[in-house]
Amino acid sequence: MRRLPLLACLALPLPALAEEPVTEQPAQSAVQPSAQPPAANPDLEQRLAESERQRAELAAQLANPDNSQDEARIARLTQENQRLKLQLREAQANQPPRLLSEQQTWYVTGAGTALLAFVLGMLSRGRRRSRREWIN
């Protein structure tokens, strides 16, 4: 009884997955040769010549780079880097030493947690204290 709606829901998408028959289109629309040969378009030839000229200029710039600006920029950045390293060292030297290292901080945190758990366990135990509890 309950399986019938489930099977119907599963069977509904099957017709949607079926392939539709492909209709043949005439060969006229398959490939239409262009009316003009590619060399007959002067606008494209002009754009091609302009892009080739720009490519040649860029290739010449890459082959013979103007290093004066780059060298000046590198020298300025190196100097700034050294200045910032010096400032960092001075700032680290001016800091007071840490009271505890990271490992010691974790140790103290664990010890504090254990102590707090012990105290809360003693408080939650209440005042009932008998010898039988300790024997078992």
In the chain, domain spans: 45-94
- Where are the extended beta strands (E) located within 14-136? none
Specify the residue for token string 């780059």. 70
C-alpha pair distances (Å), 24 with each of 16, 17, 21, 28, 94:
22, 21, 10, 12, 84
pLDDT per residue rounded down to tens, the chain (136 residues)? 556 666 566 666 655 556 665 565 555 545 455 555 555 688 888 889 999 999 998 888 777 766 777 788 889 999 999 999 999 999 988 888 888 889 999 999 999 999 999 999 888 877 665 555 666 5
Q: Is the whole-model pTM more than 0.75? A: no
* Predicted pLDDT of residue 27: 52
